[in-house]
Amino acid sequence: MIAIIDYGMGNIHSVNKALEFYGAKTIITNKPSEIKECVKVVLPGVGAFDDAVSELEKQGLIPALKEHIKNKKIFLGICLGMQLLFEESREAKIKKGTGILKGRVEKFRNSKELKVPHIGWNQLNKTSDNCPLLKDIPDNAYVYFCHSYYSKPKDDSIIAATCNYGSDFTAVVWQDNIYGMQFHPEKSQGIGLKMLENFVNLKC
């Protein structure tokens, strides 16, 4: 069973439909007790960092997510859901991140050449040949982004793919049972759906 976390900050229904298409049994939930029973968790996210952390705290979800990861169960963060894995964000005025991964979230610099937010299709540069999420994904494949902030891990070895928007930024992270995508796979047509299929097929 795959738990899709509903904390009022994500595009959960599109993700759910995509996972179900590949035969996954899913549950949309904000209950720690139900998360505990699932072998995989997806944390989507759209919106502000402070608001997202506040909602996760209010619903008692952060300890449940940390326990899930500590127990070596598979976790996927999407967009803001990936950023929340890190220690802090340039966007946040009050809240810290979960600190599950070391690093911080930075903001793109607005310029005449580059508009912020970064919205639209852009190419992935695979930096890992072994990331299971990127199995059968060609280098330079296009995926769909919508974000003003990007994650900057302390350990570059967990970066599985980058993208360039003025400079290279982290597009995919992978550390053991933890995966994150800065883009929206559910909006990235065949390439994104293939990644979600790979996620469904991951073994704990």
Mean pLDDT (the chain, rounded): 95
Q: For residue 112, is pLDDT > 90?
A: no
As given in the structure block, the two tokens for residue 101 are: 């991964």
What per-residue confidence (pLDDT) applies to 179? Answer: 98
What per-residue confidence (pLDDT) applies to 9? Answer: 80
CA 193 to CA 89: how far, in whole Å?
Answer: 28
**Which of 32-46, 47-61, 104-118, 156-170 shows the lowest per-residue confidence on average (mean pLDDT)?**
104-118
CA 100 to chain centre: 13
Residue positions annotated with a catalytic role: 79, 184, 186
Contact 49, 105 (CB under 8 A): yes
As given in the structure block, the two tokens for residue 191 are: 């390439």
Q: What is the pTM of this model?
A: 0.95
- Alpha-helical runs (H) found in 59-136: 61-70, 80-83
**Could you read off the pLDDT of 129-155 as tens digits, one per residue?**
899 999 999 999 999 999 999 999 999
Summarize the confidence of residues 84-102 as an average pLDDT. 96
CB atoms within 10 A of CB 121: 12
Helices (H) and strands (E) in the chain, counts: 6, 13
Q: What are phi and psi of 68, to 5 degrees?
A: -55, -45
Contact 170, 153 (CB under 8 A): yes
Contact 71, 40 (CB under 8 A): no
Of the candidates 77, 98, 99, 109, the one whose C-alpha atom is nearest the C-alpha of residue 4 is 77
CATH topology of domain 2-201: Rossmann fold (3.40.50)
Contact 20, 28 (CB under 8 A): no
